[in-house]
Structure 1
Amino acid sequence: MAKANPLQEQLLKAGLVKKSQVSQAAREQVKARHGKAPAAPSESQREAERLRAEKAERDRALEAERKAKAHAQELQAQVRQIIEAHKVKREGESEYRFNDGTLIRTMLVNNVLRRQLASGSLVIVRHGDGFELLPRAAAEKVRERDASVIVLDNSQPGSEPSTGNAEDDAYYAQFQVPDDLVW
């Protein structure tokens, strides 16, 4: 025993306690001093822990939102890059009209481009404030990243407009409407 308390030494000399009891008491005192016994957290400690947990949760949510925004911006940049790299040069004096939501837009094309648009080998996409023509393969890459950019795609399965009445659709299906109809 390195350094015993004077009372413990006197009790040991008098024979009232054993050496093992003195060392046990010393160990308990050391534990109490070093705080190894689990102390019940105070109200302020519980409040601080709750605030730390809330802050960590907010930080995780902000980080997830920031990552989602960065991913969306990355996809938009990829779409712009694909359109710039693959756009088809528009030329011609013939007007080609197409729907852009509730508006009807016009694009000048030649007969070759008109046939390609009608067959679905070319697709019209929104690019900035205007529109561009893309080949089918590039349009599929754009569709994977952001389908809302595609304005007109004549080869989509089920792209036939429906009147909502199956009997009328079945009746009018027997009449062929040319795809290259000029307005």
Structure 2
Amino acid sequence: MSISLRDQLLKAGLVNEKQAKQAGKEKQKQQRLAHKGQIELDDTQQRLAAEAKAEKVKRDQELNRQQQEKVEQKARAAQIKQLIEVSRLPKLNTEDYYNFVDDKKVKRLSVNTLMRNKLANGSLAIVQHQGGYEVIPREAALKIQERDPRRIVQLNILVESKTPEEDDPYAAYQIPDDLMW
């Protein structure tokens, strides 16, 4: 069983019985006057404690928000990784390359003619994945772009296949398929 502070001070000899009784009477008098409204109690300790508690709650909320943000970032990264791994096209080993710019550097990717045309007209996109580049369909690239636009290296504007107009004066002059720019 714990002993009150008053009893501990008496036992240690720091105060005598008369001083302890006088302190108790003074405390009761202060409480009576405060209860009647004649005197205001010194509530600085209570106010400081309340401010400290409010500050601690605010700090805890900020930490919780930061932790939640980190969890959401990890979830987005996992979703992006899954989208890329599920929808990526197989790597090709051809002598035909598609050149693109990433971070002011020209990179190249091995492609075939169909992939080159689809990359050019926006049906396919190039994304960064695990230190390399992957080719994925446009729909997956748009989903990735919602989560992290920095991962998209190249996503051209979707262009539907052009059919020559009837009044086009150059309709008879088609661009040859083997012409490389």
Contact 1:96 1:182 in 2 (8 A): no
Distance 1:134 1:49, change over 3 A: same
Distance 1:144 1:79, change over 3 A: same
Counterparts of 1:37-76 in structure 2, within 5 Å, are: 40=41, 42-76=43-77
- Aligned position for 1:150: 152
**How far apart, CA to CA, are the structure 1 residues paired with 2:60 and 2:179?**
57
- Aligned position for 1:123: 125
SS of the aligned residue for 1:80 comes to helix
Counterparts of 1:1-183 in structure 2, within 5 Å, are: 40=41, 42-91=43-92, 92-155=94-157, 182=180
**How far apart, CA to CA, are the structure 1 residues paired with 2:73 and 2:36?**
51
* TM-score, normalised with respect to structure 1: 0.63
**How far apart, CA to CA, are the structure 2 residues paired with 1:122 and 1:93?**
20
**Displacement of 1:181:** 7.6
* TM-score, normalised with respect to structure 2: 0.64
Structure number with greater CO (CA < 8 Å, separation at least 6) is 1
**Displacement of 1:79:** 0.5
Distance 1:44 1:109, change over 3 A: same
**How far apart, CA to CA, are the structure 2 residues paired with 1:72 and 1:141?**
15
**Displacement of 1:156:** 6.0
SS of the aligned residue for 1:106 comes to strand
Q: Identity of aligned pairs, percent?
A: 37
SS of the aligned residue for 2:157 comes to coil
**Displacement of 1:50:** 1.1
Runs of 4+ in 1 over 2 A off after TM superposition: 35-42, 180-183
| Structure 2: 5+ residue stretches without partners | 1-30, 160-175
Q: CA RMSD in A?
A: 2.9
Distance 1:129 1:36, change over 3 A: farther
